Structure 1
């Protein structure tokens, strides 16, 4: 599998008047940092921004400039430009997660860096993002761009369950596999899964939930994915588990599903739906449930206060990791449910700290196996992009600028109380 990344830093040159101008512009912004300490190192020079060193700030991070052209990328490309410059090795950081945390705590400064001169690029980035809308054809293409990177690549850092979603750690020292299995059991117990249930799952992944629920609870599951590689490996894993009689694996868009089910599960799939299609998604979910049915979605969310601006922007994740994707806010979910369904919310639980732990475990494993990943045909730039992606998300969850929640919705005739646990 060859994975070459077409990151194109703005600078195009490693020094000169443009880099000098960009450096001055960037340093003026960094002088506005008010929380934490950022030390920018240029050769023998050290520039301190934010809290003075003698204050021993909780967050104290060193950023090493390897190429002056990175100033151009950051000053004129904002947070996306900074990510691109990291991908190409133009700057280094001793504590990448803490750097993200520092900027989240100085969000007002980051917002200014993502405005100003970055408006030159923003219209084009937004246009390209809008071309990746999650129509049925577009969704298949967008999903393939991420999930069809190669099953072997994902297997290098995921645990044996192949769950590519936040775990729930029963103990601080629990393994990633324990956290994934605890999350799956938590979902089943919150929904009160029984052997007589027929569950529909939107977003199979590599079959982790379907296999666990069928094996541990004896229920039937119909599950669908539109990723070709996920479908192939999930099919193999279901067969190897001897659960072909319990699990029906489909390869079709959620909009094409039909039938009536006791329960519905969708684990971190709504991020690939696109905000324009939330009403369609929840209307379809409601139509698949029996009159007493329930559904659980695990969703990565952005704060309600930032959602409207977020819809207008294109970030590093959307440009390089998940094309066409976007995070919902809890209010955006509730609006779509209220307007298009007869569902009612019966349970909501945020467990963002567990996602930070999950991402840390993934990143450590990913970087430990970087050489074996490169041996599969992936470039150094790809490795750095994924390191940045995993640490970028970890920092966001640590600071709660993004969250992850279980939301359970019930049809009108559902009377059973939710067993709340994590």
Structure 2
């Protein structure tokens, strides 16, 4: 981070603006501070200042003395901060962080407060006008076969080396399951294996069972299933993940038991005793959930079992988010939508599937994300050496902290579900 020449703001005329040097070709909307319609910045400033006064936060605007109690939010450039939010809402809030216009002494702590009080930030009468100011999700992000491939590659094909820097040795990129809270003397890898083993147990994966995995990751679940004696077909749209998974499977001597295919879930063929899909439904998009659940059912042999792990959000919040272009969909996970438990149950039922087991682990995901975020920030120099600039690193840190806050505030949950054909 560098300090620029001081620039006057309406909040304080003497505080230097913190600026992150960003490539305008890579980050045009971070470099460019938008000009919202006349009056919108003043409205955003008034609403947010009133909200900050009610929240358990310590807020410092420009050179003013901090006010309030709690984790500290420091806005270096209030003028730019309020302009971005007035123009683009939460997208602007995220881009303002990427630009270095605000910081926090405890980033997940500040974001947890905001997530827990999200409905208090805008007065109820104005919430009814939400559709008039939120951005619509780009059509290109829809989960068509072509769109799904591009969406997956945007995130997962960044660099295997990047993910190796903050994931545990199993290269598992989903919530772990720990033994107990708050004391956890085990490694993250042990907790990830526990999560995988619970899913394999749910699906009844054992010797001579045929398993279809939708969403390979880097191959750890397929490896553990093969070690149980199962025959595994695993699907991914990420060439980077496929290549590393194939190498890891070969090194483990499991190539005769595991087939890794660069293939869409809609292209799955054959029937299987078990189907497992871990945190993949979030990338499908609501328009394609009916196809996704029919694909699960069509892949299931008589008497088979489906184990899903899915992040979830409240149903009303999901409906509001469905078509909305968010900071996460713009920069991190294009095309995705987190389902509600109700949406999963309803779409599964329409496909002839019933949920017979459903267990949540939201606190475990918050802990998993904390560990990832701490590893990522501790290895910032190595991330930079891979060619990722400071704007990317701030974006990624915000993504991990933002996600952690979602689980700490109970805005999000993560569930392990067992589905079988015909159950109600």
Alignment match of 1:292 (pick from 299, 303, 306): 303
Q: 1:23 to 1:45 in 2, by over 3 A?
A: farther
The equivalences for 1:108-119 within 5 A come to: 108-111=119-122
User: Is residue 102 of structure 1 aligned with residue 107 of structure 2?
Assistant: no
Q: In 1, Cα distance between the equivalents of 2:211 and 2:236?
A: 15
User: Is residue 192 of structure 1 aligned with residue 204 of structure 2?
Assistant: yes
Q: Across the two proteins, how many residue pairs are aligned to each other?
A: 397
Query: Over aligned residues, Cα RMSD in angstroms?
Result: 2.8
The equivalences for 1:147-158 within 5 A come to: 147-158=156-167
Are the counterparts in 2 of residues 199 and 265 from structure 1 also a CA contact under 8 Å?
yes
Q: 1:34 to 1:400 in 2, by over 3 A?
A: farther
User: Is residue 209 of structure 1 aligned with residue 221 of structure 2?
Assistant: yes
Q: What residue in structure 2 maps to residue 42 of structure 1?
A: 61
TM-score (norm 1): 0.87
The equivalences for 1:253-402 within 5 A come to: 253-339=264-350, 341-402=351-412
| Deviation for aligned residue 1:191 | 2.5
Structure ranking higher on relative contact order (CA contacts 8 Å, 6+ apart)? 1
Question: Which ranges in structure 1 are unaligned for 5 or more consecutive residues?
Answer: 54-59, 415-422
Are the counterparts in 2 of residues 343 and 411 from structure 1 also a CA contact under 8 Å?
yes
| Deviation for aligned residue 1:29 | 3.2
Q: What residue in structure 2 maps to residue 221 of structure 1?
A: 232
| Deviation for aligned residue 1:302 | 1.1
Q: In 2, Cα distance between the equivalents of 1:37 and 1:299?
A: 31
User: Is residue 170 of structure 1 aligned with residue 179 of structure 2?
Assistant: yes
Q: In 2, Cα distance between the equivalents of 1:229 and 1:218?
A: 26
Q: 1:7 to 1:154 in 2, by over 3 A?
A: farther
Q: In 2, Cα distance between the equivalents of 1:118 and 1:309?
A: 9
| Deviation for aligned residue 1:404 | 0.5
Are the counterparts in 1 of residues 90 and 327 from structure 2 also a CA contact under 8 Å?
yes
Q: In 2, Cα distance between the equivalents of 1:348 and 1:276?
A: 24
SS of the aligned residue for 1:245 comes to: coil
Are the counterparts in 2 of residues 40 and 47 from structure 1 also a CA contact under 8 Å?
yes
Q: In 1, Cα distance between the equivalents of 2:26 and 2:163?
A: 17
Q: In 1, Cα distance between the equivalents of 2:154 and 2:223?
A: 25
Q: 1:392 to 1:44 in 2, by over 3 A?
A: same
| Deviation for aligned residue 1:42 | 3.4
Ranges of 4+ aligned residues in structure 1 off by more than 4 Å = 2-5, 16-21, 111-121
Q: What residue in structure 2 maps to residue 12 of structure 1?
A: 33
Q: 1:394 to 1:268 in 2, by over 3 A?
A: same
| Deviation for aligned residue 1:248 | 1.1
The equivalences for 1:21-60 within 5 A come to: 22=41, 25-32=44-51, 36-48=55-67, 53=69, 60=70
Are the counterparts in 1 of residues 215 and 236 from structure 2 also a CA contact under 8 Å?
yes
| Deviation for aligned residue 1:344 | 1.6
